[in-house]
Amino acid sequence: MSVFAWIVTIATILLMPLISLFYVYLRLAARAAQLGYLFNLPGILKAYLASKGLNVSQGDEEKKKDKEQEYLKRLRDEFQQIFKTEFKSEYGQLRYLLAIIVGSSFTGLVILYLARSSFGKVLAGAPTTVPSPIQLALLGAFAWNLWVLLSGYDMLDLIPSTFYWITFRYVVAVMAGILASQMFKENGVASIFALTATVIPYPRLLEFLRSKVPGLREAHAGEPPIWNIQGMQQPTIDRLESLGIYTTQELAYVDPLMLLFRTHFQPKVVIDWIDQSLLYNYVGERINDLRPRGIRGSIELSGLKDDDPALDHVAEVLNIKRSELQYFRNKLLNDYQLKLISTLWDEFKPQDPSTAINDAQSHTHPIKSDATEPPKLRGES
């Protein structure tokens, strides 16, 4: 290869490890600060520590008005010890470095192979031949991996396993190239198929293959699927499925704190998904008829009081008696997950900064209140 071809090849090989290392040493600190701020909000802080089995109740001395700051300091000190361990376990630099070495090594080999193939001849200005299906498949895999890397960098959503998936995509590319060569006699058609197979998301590719190849079919992941939840988009569904969340049942009872810890999703959006899923599991498609009436999820429904005229309208939509709806509402109020997401939601309501700490201690949170008291509606002051 010419000097120019070698310069382009080396620059391309270095692209992926440089972006990855910049993320580890520059962006990962921002991710830690982002999570640290979120989990230090008083209500979320207590919920997080309680989920780890720690005692978050106030002692007799801590209940005194002048001791509230000491109480919060004790909780935050306990949080720091746990958070550092969990963050290192999930986002530790050693985990990243090992994964980056694997992903970058395979990427380097792919780039060298492409540079010495017909693509390399283009850089050298020599006569070229039509790229083989394997070459185009590997090129498509590299382009897709680079896009995943850049989008993850921008959204603070690069995790160590991302780099192992980068390697896996190259393996799939080689298999797609070989398969395309066997399936299609024309090199052009085979190359297009191989390229296409490596630049679409894995879930869509597997779904297509399972629909065409009987031997690859598997049992349905479960019902009802999470695309029934309002606000779901395909990339979101793919991300949730990568965490083992396929149905509204699984989404309704996922640990919201761990979901926030492991993804880049906004807290209020995650709470809304869980809230919708809780209600959807009870009422199914009728949730679509409740939304125009101001009932978007379980928090709104559980907030209906006995003297609320909307109670009759909701009962009519659900085709049940008023007394049955009241029983349903009370069952929701006893659901721990509803109490938890109500507490988390309250942390994002506008407050006067001078009274935020006192409010966090004094106002009623469903997680610690009597189950018969409805949680406040989202957005309610």
pLDDT for res 59: 80
Q: How many Å apart are CA 210 and CA 111, to the nearest integer?
A: 31
Angle at 272 between CA 271 and CA 274, to 5 degrees: 65
Entry pTM = 0.78
> Taking the CB of residue 274, how many other CB atoms lie within 10 A of it?
26
Which residues of the chain fall below pLDDT 70? 1, 118-130, 202-223, 349-381
pLDDT for res 64: 78
Beta strand residue intervals within the chain, DSSP E: none
DSSP 8-state assignment for residue 372: T
Q: How many Å apart are CA 92 and CA 85, to the nearest integer?
A: 9
Q: How many Å apart are CA 109 and CA 107, to the nearest integer?
A: 5
Helix (H, G, I), strand (E, B) or coil at 247: strand
The sign of the CA dihedral 70, 75, 76, 78 is positive
Q: How many Å apart are CA 244 and CA 169, to the nearest integer?
A: 20
Beta bridge partners of residue 260, listed in sequence order: none
Q: How many Å apart are CA 309 and CA 377, to the nearest integer?
A: 16
pLDDT for res 368: 37
pLDDT for res 377: 42
pLDDT digits (tens, 9 = 90+) for 321-363: 999 999 999 999 989 899 899 988 888 766 554 444 344 343 3
Is 5 in contact with 123 (CB distance < 8 Å)?
A: yes
pLDDT for res 381: 39
Q: How many Å apart are CA 282 and CA 293, to the nearest integer?
A: 17
